[in-house]
Amino acid sequence: MAVAVAHSPWHRLAWLARRLIRLDQPYLITGPQASYEYHRWLTPLENLVTLQVYAEDVPLWLQMAGGGCRVFETPPNTTQVRAAQEAIILDSTLEPERHQRRRVIDGLAFIALEDLCLDLVERARGETSLAEAAAIIIAQRDFLAWDVLLDQAEQRGLARRLGALLDAINAEAEATLVPPEAIKELGRRVDMVHPPLEEAIYPPGRHRSVPSSYRPIAERWGVRLALPRYVIGKVVLDLQPQRS
């Protein structure tokens, strides 16, 4: 019981829950707090949360500032976060479909893990986002709505990037953590929808070469998988106890 309470988002985000009572508007908890809720791997700052909200509601959310809480419309720097007792970052890109897919945990509304995975893949500017996407997939593989994940990847033009990540997870685990049928279905959708010579640099960071073990994966999905093996390998190693 003690472990469950310690990991509870209500326990971790009690300060946010108290503030949300004052404003009855749609929102989704996203960013590192949502990632941690799904993978329990990389611990976020407890005083910082990102909320996805409707653009027209931003003026209302800005009114939550005060009493030690600061509300930002753009990502704050480290100094600003440290100076705030509580910090909220507003992401004004909420859409009705996303809100409908939300997952309510301990009374708090979190972005669906399928949407979060694809956001991490799409916005990756380094190694952390891809590692967190892999961690969510591994930790939640038995609970993922694979049909939703594949549909959204296809609609958002992320099928190749997601396919390469799923293949790399299985390669590093030397096991079928990701269902082979999901990877095959994604491959069929890529062949039908996307041009065969599409290339994605994945991610645009310090490492520009494709590891030899990833070359077959990169060729299969038509991407340049510029991703050092330790990124996914570390996640697989850390989450090994959760493997079935």
178-201 mean pLDDT: 78
Tell me what pLDDT residue 227 has: 86
Three-state secondary structure call for residue 87: strand
The full DSSP string for 36-82 is HHHH--SPPPTTEEEEE--GGGHHHHHTT-BTTEEEESSPPPHHHHH
Q: Domain range for residue 212? A: 145-238
Phi-psi domain of 153 (left: phi exceeds 0; alpha: psi -120 through 50; beta: other): alpha
Query: What is the percentage of the chain residues whose pLDDT exceeds 90?
Result: 73
User: In this structure, is residue 126 part of a structural domain?
Assistant: no
The pLDDT confidence band at residue 26, using thresholds 50, 70 and 90, is very high
The pLDDT mean for the chain works out to: 88
Phi, psi of 53 (to 5 degrees): -135, 165
User: In this structure, is residue 136 part of a structural domain?
Assistant: no
Query: Residues 109, 33: contact at Cβ < 8 Å?
Result: no
- If one counts the domains in the chain, the total is 2
Residues 6 and 106 in one domain: yes
User: In this structure, is residue 214 part of a structural domain?
Assistant: yes
Asked if the model's pLDDT at residue 75 lies above 50, the reply is yes
Tell me what pLDDT residue 223 has: 87
pLDDT 10s digits, 28-54: 999 999 999 999 999 999 899 999 999
Query: Residues 92, 53: contact at Cβ < 8 Å?
Result: yes
Residues 101 and 161 in one domain: no
Residues 149 and 63 in one domain: no
Residues 28 and 102 in one domain: yes
The pLDDT confidence band at residue 224, using thresholds 50, 70 and 90, is confident
What is the 8-class DSSP label of residue 242? Answer: G
User: In this structure, is residue 138 part of a structural domain?
Assistant: no
Residues 86 and 170 in one domain: no
DSSP E strands, the chain: 28-30, 48-52, 69-72, 86-91, 103-105, 108-110
Asked if the model's pLDDT at residue 3 lies above 50, the reply is no
User: In this structure, is residue 124 part of a structural domain?
Assistant: no
